[in-house]
Structure 1
Amino acid sequence: MPTPLGTPFTFFYALVLLATTVFAESADPALVGRLLSASSTDVVNLVHHPLLVLAASGLWIAGSPLSAYTVGFLLVLTALERRVGGLRTAAVFALGHVLATLLTEVPIGVAVALGRLPDSSLVRLDYGISFGVMAGLGALAGLLGPWPRWILLGAVGAMLLDDFLVFADPISAWGHPAALLVGIATWPFVRRARRARVDR
C-alpha cells in the first residue's frame, strides 16, 4: 500500500481522491453535478479549456469508490512508484490519461463534424482515473519477469475483450486498451529508470 515517504505520489494522490469522493457523497447533488460536468473531458470542454478539464477529470473516481480501478490505482501505482519513482509514475499516469482521452474524444468530434454522430455526442460525462491506471498497469508489466508479465497482460486483455463484447460504454471500450498500449510503449523509459534506481 502507498506510504507518504515510500510512494508520495500515489499516497497524496489517493488522499485527493478520497477527499473528492467524500465531497461527492456528502455535498449538494446539484453542485456535484455541475463540478463533474465542468471536469468532463467531452469534446466541448476539451475545445474550450483543455488543460483544465484534462487535469480536473483525474481528480474524481467514476462509479464505486471500491471499484476495480480504485483498487488497481492503489496496488498498481504503488508497485510502479516503488520501482521507478514518483515523477516517472506521475508521467506514465498523465500520459495514459491524456493520450487515451484524446484518442477517444477527437474521433467523436470528427464524426460529429462529418454528420456521422449527433451534436449531443459532444457533451457527456467523461472523468475518472481508469485511463491512468491502465497506463500504469501496462508500464508495470514491463518491469515484471516474462511469466508474470504475460499472465498479467493476458488477464487484463480478457477483461478488455469482455468490455468490447458488452460495449456498454464505447469510450471506455476503446480508451482502456489505448491507455494500456500507452503504458506498454513506456517500457524502455521505465526499464531505464528501474536500472538507474537499482544501480544507486
Structure 2
Amino acid sequence: MHQRTDRAVREESFAAPLLDAVPRQPGPAAPPPSPPPDSGARRWLRLLPTPTGTPFTSGYLLVLIGTSLFMEFADPATVAAALRESSTDVAHLGETPLLVLTASALRAVGGLGSPVVFVLALVLTALERRVGGRRTAVVFVLGHVVATLATEIPVGISVVVGHLPESSLHRLDYGISFGLMASVGALTGLFTPLVRTLVLGGLGVMLASDLVELSNPLTDWGHPLALLLGVSCRPLLRRAGAARTR
C-alpha cells in the first residue's frame, strides 16, 4: 500500500509540469467590478466634515457653534463685554495680542445664520481632505493673524503721526473672514487651471468692488491680503496634496 502510494505521488509530481504546459482554453472573461450603488452618495458626503476624516474642521465648527449659541442666548451686556475684550483693535493688540488674536477667530459675525459659516465648513473640509488638518490649520491661522496685523498696524502708525484720531485705536473687530479667504486662496491651488481662474476671477471682482466702496476699510483691505497669502501657499500645498493622494 505504501509503495503504490509513493509511486502515485511521484507520477503526479512528474506529470504536473507537463499538464501546466498544455494550453488551456480561455474561459469567459469576468465582468469588471461594478461600483457600489452608494458611491455617488459617498462622494457628496465627502463634502461634509466628519470627526475622523476632518478632525480640525469638525472641532473648529463645534467651537463656532458654542460661541454662536453664547452670543445668541447669553445676557446682552455679557456678550457685548466679551466681544469688546476679544476685539483685535490696536489697543487690545498692544496689551494682549495672543488672547485677542485667538478669541477673535472663535466668533463668527452673524452667528450660525451667516452664510460665511456654511462656506467655511465646505472650504475647510475640502482643504483638510487634500492636505491634512495641520496644514489646513496653519493656512487659516496664518491668514487670520497676518491680515489682521497688516491692517491694524498702519492704523496705530496713523494715530501716532496724527492722521487718525485716537478713537481709531478702539473698535470692534472680530470674525473668521480673514482665515476663510486665506483657505479659499490655498484651496484654489488644488483646482484645475480653468476652475482656479474662474474662482479667483470672481473673487477678484467682488473684492475690487468692496475696495471701491470702502465701507469698512480694514476689512476691505484685509480680505485681498488674506486671499493672496493663501494663494502663495499653493506650491507647498500642491505637493502635500499629491503626496496625500498617493
Coarse TM-score class (shorter-chain normalised): over 0.9
Does 2:98 match 1:98? Answer: no
**Residue matched to 2:210:** 163
Aligned residues: 199
Larger RCO: Structure 1 or Structure 2 (Cα < 8 Å, ≥ 6 residues apart)? Answer: 1
Matches of 1:45 and 1:61 in 2, distance apart?
A: 19
Spell out, residue by residue over 1:100-145, the C-alpha distance to the aligned partner (whole angstroms, 9 max, x if none).
0000000000000010000000010110100000000000001100
Matches of 1:11 and 1:159 in 2, distance apart?
A: 28
Q: Which of residues 155, 159, 162 is equivalent to 1:108?
A: 155
Give how far 1:64 is off: 4.9
- Rg comparison, structure with higher value: 2
Matches of 2:206 and 2:219 in 1, distance apart?
A: 12
Does 2:65 match 1:18? Answer: yes
Matches of 2:195 and 2:60 in 1, distance apart?
A: 27
**Residue matched to 2:103:** 56
Does 2:82 match 1:35? Answer: yes
Give how far 1:14 is off: 0.4
TM-score (norm. length: structure 1): 0.97
Matches of 1:185 and 1:68 in 2, distance apart?
A: 26
Matches of 1:28 and 1:146 in 2, distance apart?
A: 49
Farther off after superposition, 150-159 or 113-122: 150-159
Matches of 1:68 and 1:168 in 2, distance apart?
A: 20
Contact 2:71 2:111 in 1 (8 A): no
- Structure 2: runs of 5 or more not aligned: 1-47
- Structure 1: runs of 5 or more not aligned: none
**Runs (4+) of structure 1 moved beyond 3 Å?**
none
Give how far 1:63 is off: 2.6
Matches of 2:114 and 2:203 in 1, distance apart?
A: 15
TM-score (norm. length: structure 2): 0.79
Spell out, residue by residue over 1:35-66, the C-alpha distance to the aligned partner (whole angstroms, 9 max, x if none).
11110100000000101111110010013533
Does 2:192 match 1:145? Answer: yes
Percent identity of the aligned residues? 56
Q: How does 1:108-127 map to 2 (within 5 A)?
A: 108-127=155-174
